[in-house]
Amino acid sequence: MRIAIALSLMVGLFAAPALAQQDVKAEAAGLAKDVIEQQITAFLNDDATTAYSFASPEIKSVFPNAERFFEMVKKSYGPVYRPGNYAFGRNQVSPDGTVAYQEVLISAPDGKDWAVYYELKRQRDGQFAINGVRMMRETNSQGI
């Protein structure tokens, strides 16, 4: 009986870190999705200031104000700026929960489908900021 109890305790001790890591990853993935959804909503509302607020400091160093950032998105990321329908695909989160990758499948208003891959970094305040976006005309989800 003591052996069974000891084994149960050992299994619990080894499983706890794995479960905690899963919780960190699930929480990070949810936060990342929220940021992307809020930025897409800001684009749809032509709210440059709010859309820009979700960009990482690295992105802001390249585009130092909301207007320049917004113009770049309009010009180079049309399907992200004006998505028709979109759905979240697969995601990955670093083991420590500081970097998240999120796939978003977008049907643009022109009828073309896109796979869009976001990289988000956790900031000092605990929130995620979008650090990069890569778009591919290929629409089969192939992972990140």
Tell me whether residue 7 is in a domain. Answer: no
Distances (CA, A) of 26 to 5, 31, 32, 83, 92: 31, 9, 10, 26, 10
Identify whether the C-beta of residue 133 lies closer than 8 Å to the C-beta of residue 101. no
Tell me whether residue 97 is in a domain. Answer: yes
pLDDT > 80? residue 13: no
Average pLDDT over residues 93-117: 93
Q: Which domain holds residue 102?
A: 17-137
pLDDT > 80? residue 12: no
pLDDT > 60? residue 110: yes
The two three-digit tokens of residue 116, written as one number: 């869009």
Domain count, the chain: 1
Tell me whether residue 122 is in a domain. Answer: yes
Q: What CATH number is attached to the domain comprising 66?
A: 3.10.450.630
- Per residue in 36-87, pLDDT (tens digit) is 999 999 999 999 999 999 999 999 999 999 999 999 999 999 999 999 899 9
Tell me whether residue 143 is in a domain. Answer: no
